[in-house]
Amino acid sequence: MSISTHRATLIVDGILAALFFAVCVLYAFVGGWPDVVVVTLFSAALVIRRVAPGAALVVAWVAACAQMLMLREVQPADAAVFAIMYSTAAYGSPAVRWWGLGSAGAGAVLASAYLSVVMPLVNGMGVAPAADAFGRLMWSGLVFGAALAGLVLAWTVGLLAKTVRDAREQGRRAELDRRELEHAEYRYVVEQERSRIARDMHDVVAHSLAVVIAQADGARFAARTRPEAAVQTLETISGVARGALGDVRALLGELRHREGGSPQPVLDDLDDLVEQVRDAGLDVRRTERGERVPLGAGHQIAVYRIVQEGLTNALRHGDVSEPVDLALEWDAHGVAVRLENAVPDGAAPGTARDATPGPRHGIPGMRERAELAGGAFAAESLPNGRFRVSARIPAQAAS
């Protein structure tokens, strides 16, 4: 419990104890100063019942013993005992909790003895309902049973409240842990995809710079003897540099110093990709409309990877007995990629058959590639039980 919570709890319990004291002290004034002392002790126990339930139990015992030693009658302030018993179970440590349960039994014994034996003697045997021994025994049993039931019931309610509170706290912590885990997994997915994009772009930029260097060296030697060739070479350098600059701007935040180990795919490699997936047992129906426009190397990689990931997800998580529709629609502004596949019965669209919890790697990766290329991405479930991914990649002059 923090300091601020501790202070707030004391303030609330102090106000409630003050109201309890104000009500009970009116009856205590009739009985005299001994009853005022008892009311004061019980009120003090109520003030600290949540912040220090063990100390509150001790103060309550002191108040009860003082009341019996001063031979006082039962009074409204005795109701504080039930609140103390509740607090020992709801807010106390395991030791305090069991001390509270033991106090319920001991308090019931003392209360029955005090009310059925001591007080009848003090009042001249006039309180007991029967003068014979059997009647007194019955009266003692009733007093003991009522006291024990009331005290144990208060303790049990406190224990139940503690159990409910602990269960809610565990649920809240589990929810926080789950959200943190999902956030960490998502960040891991994004970082993995960025690393893969960095490897792709490394080859693109390295190739462009190699061309620029070679052309610049050639232009330097040709400038003296063939000025027209030097001018043409500088135009080539300018075009290559512009294309490389576009790729760098698209993925500047994702680059890292690590080389890729294989040639980078281009749009012409989509034919081989589709054939590989068909050989794996997936019926891919590919359509392409419009006239292709130039795309930079980075944008071609984005198209290829989005199609690759979409087909992979359809093969792994979709219904392989149903065809997969792959469409590329070209216009003057770029290309729109749309891929639809059927989902197995009983599975939510876009999810794996095993329904493993946590974010998928494919959807964040495709969205990352499309957005970093300056385009857009969407994934949605359709009413006919199919799942669609669509991406828009803008046109850019090839390097």
Rg of the chain over all Cα atoms, to the nearest angstrom = 41
pLDDT of residue 226: 76
pLDDT in tens, 83-118: 999 999 999 889 999 998 998 889 888 888 888 777
Q: In the chain, where does the domain assigned CATH 3.30.565.10 lie?
A: 267-394
| Closest to 92 in 3D by CA, of 151, 149, 51 | 51
Q: Does residue 399 surpass a pLDDT of 60? A: no
pLDDT in tens, 206-231: 556 666 776 777 777 777 777 777 77
pLDDT of residue 376: 93
Q: pTM of the prediction?
A: 0.49
Once rounded to an integer, what is the mean pLDDT over residues 274-287?
A: 83
Give dist(CA 47, CA 53) in Å, integer: 10
pLDDT class of 41 with cuts at 50, 70, 90: very high
pLDDT in tens, 361-391: 578 878 888 888 889 999 998 888 899 999 9
pLDDT of residue 257: 40
pLDDT of residue 266: 81
Q: Which CATH class is domain 193-254?
A: mainly alpha
Which strands form 324-331's sheet, in the order they lie side by side?
284-289, 324-331, 334-342, 386-394, 376-381
Q: Between these two residues, 75 and 206, which has the higher pLDDT value?
A: 75
Give dist(CA 221, CA 208) in Å, integer: 20
Residue 91 bridge partners (DSSP): none
Q: For the chain, how many residues are written?
A: 399
Q: Provide the angle, in degrees to the nearest 10, between the axes of the packed helices 80-91 and 33-47.
A: 20
Q: In the chain, where does the domain assigned CATH 1.20.5 lie?
A: 193-254
pLDDT of residue 203: 53
pLDDT of residue 59: 92
Q: Does residue 23 surpass a pLDDT of 90? A: no
Question: Cβ atoms within 10 A of the Cβ of 175, count?
Answer: 10
> Does 267-394 carry CATH code 3.40.50.620?
no
pLDDT of residue 263: 56
